[in-house]
Amino acid sequence: MLIAANWKMFKTQSETRAFLERFDPPEGVDVVICPPYTSLGVAVESGRTIYAQNVHWQNEGAYTGEISPAMLVELGVAGSIVGHSERREYFDETDETTAERAEAALAAGLGVIACVGETEEQRDTGMMEGVLRRQVGALPRHDRLVIAYEPVWAIGTGKTATPAICQHAHAFIKSLTDARVIYGGSVNPENAGGLLSQAAVDGALVGGASLDVDSFTAICRLAIPS
């Protein structure tokens, strides 16, 4: 099981250090922490596996505000999230730019968690499988690529896919790719057990519940193989 913490735009360097000093993940679970850019260096010093929340497709250039794969590698970062629904919604990320970011990161030796997922309208109108087929189909094939199924309607809304919905979506994605597939979307200690018990679920990408060390540790413990 892979459990990843996406801290989004939360936690300063001192807060990151304090979290990681307390955090003691259980054995048998792969854990990734994804802090904001300013806290990457502090996080790497902890010895944990650290991913960025985004990465550019060029190693250098006139791209104000972007961070390259080479910069992450030099810092000791192990990988990056790409294509998160918030990047798609607020910063106009597309399937094409998500794929370019993933390809560049993988070429640099980084791991990648690539996010896919449908909106509520797309689900209600029967478009879910078509959306997932398009998004997954744009991504490269690679053994360091992990896909995070994050239904847009469950991101930061408190809504969570039921275990049955989660299993169906993950099984469909796995029919399209050999990559591991983890679930993201309002995962918390109360619902993680049911979601992680599904046969097609390989872990979770945790947002708000990962900001509290006790909450995130509880989710990690629920991922321990039985």
Average pLDDT, integer, range 196-223: 97
Contact by Cβ (8 Å): 165, 129 = no
CATH number for the domain including 176? 3.20.20.70
Number of domains in the chain: 1
150 is catalytic: yes
Tell me what percent of the residues of the chain surpass a pLDDT of 70.
100
Find the catalytic residue in 93, 103, 118, 150.
150
> What is the pTM (predicted TM-score) of this model?
0.96
pLDDT tens-digit map of 83-96: 999 999 999 999 99
pLDDT tens-digit map of 150-206: 998 877 777 778 999 999 999 999 999 999 999 998 899 999 999 999 999 999 999
- Strands (E) in 109-179, as ranges, are 111-116, 145-149
| Residues whose CB falls within 8 Å of the CB of residue 184, separated by 6 or more in sequence, listed in order | 6, 115, 117, 148, 149, 150, 154, 155, 204, 205, 206, 207
45 is catalytic: no
pLDDT tens-digit map of 136-152: 999 999 999 999 999 98
Average pLDDT, integer, range 125-129: 91
Find the catalytic residue in 84, 93, 118, 170.
84
Domain that holds residue 99: 2-222
